[in-house]
């Protein structure tokens, strides 16, 4: 009996990330993920309308606890995610290299930038309220105080390029301010998003705060845009036609909409606070002065 000299590789089929768990797509569909050279990498789940609804339900369930957590606690959790992401630096770098065809050094620099961006947003967790809040002068014996509050459940169409750094740049500002989210990952290069989901699942982040769907943005995003329990939508990764469709659907319940950038985004640049303020509401409270 001859010995087998070659072994069969295990062809992975990755799942979705919903409510802190990894369910299969309700439809049972998947698609092939290839490298920049056309080589097979894995099979990824193709999320359906039902999966999108389940993800929104999970995000809504997680919202009271996450929005009610202290800003300091949210910052600690983002910092922990950064620590764990750095611990899997080699895997992320390999996935970025396969997806974008960049060298090991460049891929590693992009992972480092994603870690640094998480730490940067973690530092803003207990400062954004002071920057956006105010004590307002009024005519009368009252204190009039304004403070930012999270919008609620935010749908995010991740950028197709920069599959890790771009993804971190759209998720972190949403959750650091107390929102929960449903993310449609890059269809072209979903593996960094799937690996990030594994990081999130083993960090201190409560289940349902971030839910990641893989598949076609053109198929999933309109259902999220029209969902009555979604309060905002970030269309950064949507093409012009898809963005218009989603904006029209989002108008049904007056969602906050962050439109796609007009020019190519430099994800390495200083992001400013605009992405954090995009999904915040302002609450103003009156209180009488005196006993």
Please give the full DSSP string across 233-285, using - where no structure is assigned: EE-TT--HHHHHHHHHHHGGGT-EEEPPPSS---TTS---SHHHHTTEEEEEE
pLDDT at 40: 93
Q: Which residues of the chain have pLDDT under 50?
A: none
pLDDT at 47: 97
Instruction: Give the pTM.
Output: 0.93
Report whether 20 contacts 84 (CB < 8 A). Answer: no
Cα 273 to Cα 93, 174, 179: the distances in Å are: 27, 11, 15
pLDDT at 3: 62
pLDDT at 141: 87
Residue in 245, 241, 178, 187 with CA at minimum distance from that of residue 213: 187
pLDDT at 291: 57
Any residues with CB less than 8 A from the CB of 274 and at least 6 apart, and which? Answer: none
pLDDT, one tens digit per residue, over 101-111 is 999 999 999 99
């Amino acid at each position: 009996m001859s010995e087998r000299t070659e072994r069969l590789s295990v062809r992975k089929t990755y799942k979705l990330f919903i409510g802190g768990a990894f369910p299969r797509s309700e439809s049972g569909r998947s698609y092939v993920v290839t490298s920049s050279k056309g080589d097979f990498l894995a099979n990824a789940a193709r999320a359906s309308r039902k999966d999108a609804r389940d993800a929104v339900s999970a995000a809504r369930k997680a919202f009271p606890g996450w929005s009610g957590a202290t800003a300091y606690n949210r910052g600690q959790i983002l910092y922990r995610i950064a620590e764990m992401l750095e611990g899997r630096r080699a895997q992320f770098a390999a996935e970025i290299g396969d997806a974008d065809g960049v060298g090991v050094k460049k891929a590693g620099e992009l992972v480092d930038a994603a870690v640094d961006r998480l730490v940067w947003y973690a530092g803003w967790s207990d400062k954004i309220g002071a920057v956006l809040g105010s004590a307002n002068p009024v005519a009368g014996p009252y204190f009039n105080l304004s403070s930012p509050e999270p919008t609620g459940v935010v749908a995010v169409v991740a950028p197709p390029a920069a599959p890790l750094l771009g993804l971190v740049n759209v998720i972190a500002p949403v959750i650091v301010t107390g929102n929960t989210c449903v993310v449609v990952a890059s269809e072209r290069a979903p593996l960094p998003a799937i690996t990030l989901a594994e990081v999130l699942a083993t960090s201190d982040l409560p289940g349902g705060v971030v839910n990641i769907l893989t598949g076609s943005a053109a198929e999933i995003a309109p259902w999220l845009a029209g969902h009555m329990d979604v309060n905002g939508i970030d269309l950064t990764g949507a093409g012009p036609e898809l963005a218009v469709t989603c904006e029209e659907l989002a108008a049904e319940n007056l969602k906050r909409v962050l439109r796609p950038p007009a020019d190519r985004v430099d994800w390495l640049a200083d992001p400013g606070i605009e992405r954090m303020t995009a999904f915040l509401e302002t609450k103003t409270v009156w209180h009488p002065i005196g006993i």
